[in-house]
Chain A
Amino acid sequence: MNEPKGDRRKFLARAGIATLGVGTASLFAGTAMSATTVRPSDVGVIQTALALEHEGIAAYRIAGKSGLLSPGTLKLALVFMGHHQAHRDSLAKLVATAGGKPAEPKTDSQYIAELKLGSLKSEADVVALATMLERGAASAYFGQITALKDPGLAKLFASISADEAIHWTTLNNAAGTPIPTAAYVFG
């Protein structure tokens, strides 16, 4: 299943093409959800998720400008960033619909410090960081589903979690790390 690390660029380039359709699906999921009414008790959960999306977008955007990524990897990073932007837009719209003020992104300098982006020296470093963030994001969405009161919102969170899981799987395989042998990878 796993390709040698030397084939990372080819793998990522192919994966970039294959994942384009997923972003469209997640965008539709978000659009459908935005038409429903958000319960006040769910707004806090959405705001936390929104903060997570802001962080993911910043990580891909800043890493994308770093010059560390090969063209194929950059292309994939931009696809993943697009997914996160679609998630952000869906979540922000839900908060606004509920009468709230969507959580704002931090500054780039904050993200650089918090994620230690200045310490990244190679494409492998970027892939390792993105892998860690995507795994955490998949688990965070999955883990917060039970806190949601609205089933439609729970469906949206499951859909986003699946997107993050695809990101993680793609990056994990590109890094040559074996898939965990135990089931229930995300908890």
Chain B
Amino acid sequence: MRWGGLLFAGLLAAAAGAGTVPDDVAAGKALYLNTCGGCHSVDTNRIGPRHRNVVGRAVASIPGYDYSSALKKLGGVWTPARLDQWLSGTQKMAPGSKMYLELDDPTKRRLIIAYLRSVSASAMPEHSRMASQPRH
């Protein structure tokens, strides 16, 4: 009975921790290194542009990176929703852009974007954003 209670408490704690923002960021970082790391780094331009502060940044706006004309034409700002659209279909969103890798899995996209938010100063962490919303 005592062991059963401890097990139940442990399961509750695990359930509460699952899917929290820090977990998403850690999982997203691992996915980012695996999936994006062939071409991108957080702090330096490589085959693709650097990702530090990508959330909230104007599209095709890093000085010195040779963007495709397709991405230059796209305009706007990278928001989490827009990044999700981009990762869902880069060539659908900006035909002729240099990136061809797409992610069909919405969970993988969510986790990678959670990581990109974590390395972006202008992207308020999700838990802070929720806390700052007015309560009714």
Contacts and interface: CB of A to CB of B under 8 A. Distances in A.
Interface of A: 44-45, 47-48, 51-52, 55, 113-116, 132-133, 135-140, 143-144, 146-147, 186-187
A113 B43 CA distance: 10
A139 B38 contact: yes
Tell me what chain A mostly uses at the interface: helix, strand, loop, or mixed: helix
Contact of A48 (B44, B47, B96): B47
Interface residues of B, number: 21
A113 B44 contact: yes
B32 to A, nearest CB: 10
Contacts, number: 64
18 contacts: A44-B100, A45-B100, A48-B47, A48-B100, A52-B39, A115-B44, A115-B46, A132-B33, A132-B37, A136-B33, A136-B36, A136-B38, A138-B38, A140-B38, A144-B100, A146-B102, A147-B101, A147-B102
Given A136-B34, A137-B38, A140-B38, A44 B96 contact: yes
Contacts of B45: 114
B47 A55 contact: yes
B99 interface: yes
Contact of B101 (A47, A55, A133, A143): A143
Contacts of B79: none
B41 interface: yes
A144 B101 contact: yes
